[in-house]
């Protein structure tokens, strides 16, 4: 069934793309870029908190950013390779080059492996800890999430949140292997942020996930249960800024206001008459929340 669907998609409605666009889609460049913000923030804060000159360590900066970009891109490529049978069934993934046939499966596998190996090697040039954390991120995303939990367990989003929370730890560990409490707060922000973010997306795409046989929470348990889970996860964010007092009162206030805003939006979901419209608001807020939170961490250490 899946192979026939994939063949049909490849033969008809294949969008016109360039080789570069196909490669960018394969490595999920949007995810790479957004994760690099958190990698940079973790690295910047490690320099700042340890009073280490930033510009005097350009080699560490380059190895960390490039290595992180490569392991994230490689992991995304391997994810596309593994999900090549279900991607044709979903609207948001059916234009991927693994579905359209623009890049062969064997090349996708080789690209993915080459990227994660090269990226890991670069991270090991910074510190051993950064390299190990990078490998943990790869294994947790490619093996534990994509190959194991994604198609079997309704809590797959939580499992996948481990790998998504690793980037700031990599950035910090590349500078300071001891991993200060602040580094773990960055990890927790990323870990807790992901369930409400992806549940909002899953609500919008629930029928696609159902068609592909992926047991996402909204598909299996329904929207009402999903809303309660999203509310709980936003609550978990509330205490975190108070463990980050080293960044100053201005950041703590800003982060707390962002958290309260998200909790309030989550509460509004219990009264909404348009679940999908509310899910869209939650999704957009989550993107703004992450960007503002991590960029502000850098800004408050500069001004």
36-80 per-position pLDDT tens digit: 999 999 999 999 999 999 999 999 999 999 999 999 999 999 999
Q: Does the structure show a pLDDT above 70 at 11?
A: no
Residue 293 token pair: 């939170």
**Mean pLDDT, the chain, as a whole number?**
93
The number of C-alpha atoms within 13 Å of 277 and in the hemisphere containing its C-beta is: 6
Give 84's DSSP letter. G
* Phi, psi at 238, each rounded to 5°: -55, -45
Mean pLDDT of 2-30: 68
* Phi, psi at 53, each rounded to 5°: -60, 130
pLDDT the model gives residue 14: 59
Identify whether the C-beta of residue 6 lies closer than 8 Å to the C-beta of residue 212: no
Q: Does the structure show a pLDDT above 70 at 7?
A: no
Q: Helices (DSSP H) in 12-146: which residue ranges?
A: 19-26, 29-49, 58-82, 97-100, 105-124, 128-139
Question: How confident is residue 222, by pLDDT bands cut at 50, 70 and 90?
Answer: very high
Residue 184 token pair: 């773990």
pLDDT the model gives residue 10: 44
What share of the chain has pLDDT > 90, as a percent? 85
CA distance 275 to 263: 16
pLDDT in tens, 75-111: 999 999 999 988 888 887 888 898 888 999 999 999 9
CA distance 17 to 7: 18
Report which of 1, 77, 63 is spatially closest to residue 32, judged by C-alpha positions: 77
Identify whether the C-beta of residue 301 lies closer than 8 Å to the C-beta of residue 48: yes
How long, in residues, is the chain?
303
144 to 82, 153, 159, 162: CA distances (angstroms)? 12, 11, 8, 10
What share of the chain has pLDDT > 70, as a percent? 95
CA distance 92 to 66: 28
Of 10-14, 18-22, 42-46, minimum mean pLDDT range: 10-14
pLDDT the model gives residue 13: 59
Class of domain 1-179: mainly alpha
Q: Does the structure show a pLDDT above 70 at 8?
A: no
Region of residue 173 (phi > 0: left; psi between -120 and 50: alpha; otherwise: beta): alpha
CA distance 167 to 185: 12
Report which of 211, 223, 194, 206 is spatially closest to residue 289, judged by C-alpha positions: 194
Q: Does the structure show a pLDDT above 70 at 248?
A: yes
Mean pLDDT of 187-206: 96
């Amino acid at each position: 069934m899946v192979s026939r669907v994939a063949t049909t998609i490849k033969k008809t409605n294949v969008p016109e793309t360039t080789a570069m666009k196909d490669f960018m889609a394969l490595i999920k460049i949007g995810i790479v870029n957004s994760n690099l913000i958190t990698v940079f923030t973790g690295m910047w804060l490690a320099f700042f908190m340890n009073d280490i000159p930033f510009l005097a360590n350009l080699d560490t900066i380059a190895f960390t950013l490039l290595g992180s970009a490569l392991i994230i891109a490689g992991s995304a490529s391997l994810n596309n390779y593994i999900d090549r049978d279900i991607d044709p069934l979903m609207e948001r993934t059916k234009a991927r080059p693994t579905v359209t046939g623009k890049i062969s499966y064997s090349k996708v596998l080789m690209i993915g492996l080459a990227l994660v190996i090269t990226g890991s090697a670069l991270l090991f040039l910074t510190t051993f800890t950064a390299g190990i954390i990078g490998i943990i991120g790869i294994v947790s995303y490619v093996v534990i999430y994509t190959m194991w939990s994604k198609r079997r367990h309704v809590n797959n989003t939580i499992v996948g949140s481990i790998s998504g929370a690793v980037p700031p730890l990599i950035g910090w560990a590349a500078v300071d292997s001891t991993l200060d409490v602040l580094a773990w707060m960055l990890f927790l922000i990323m870990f807790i942020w992901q369930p409400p973010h992806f549940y909002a997306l899953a609500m919008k795409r629930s029928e696609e996930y159902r068609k592909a046989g992926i047991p996402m929470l909204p598909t299996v348990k329904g929207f009402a249960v999903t809303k309660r889970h999203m509310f709980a996860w936003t609550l978990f964010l509330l205490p975190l800024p108070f463990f980050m007092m080293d960044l100053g009162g201005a950041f703590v206030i800003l982060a707390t206001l962002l958290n309260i805003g998200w909790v309030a939006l989550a509460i509004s979901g219990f009264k909404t008459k348009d679940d999908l419209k509310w899910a869209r608001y939650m999704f957009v807020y989550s993107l703004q929340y992450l960007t503002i939170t991590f960029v502000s961490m850098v800004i408050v250490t500069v001004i």
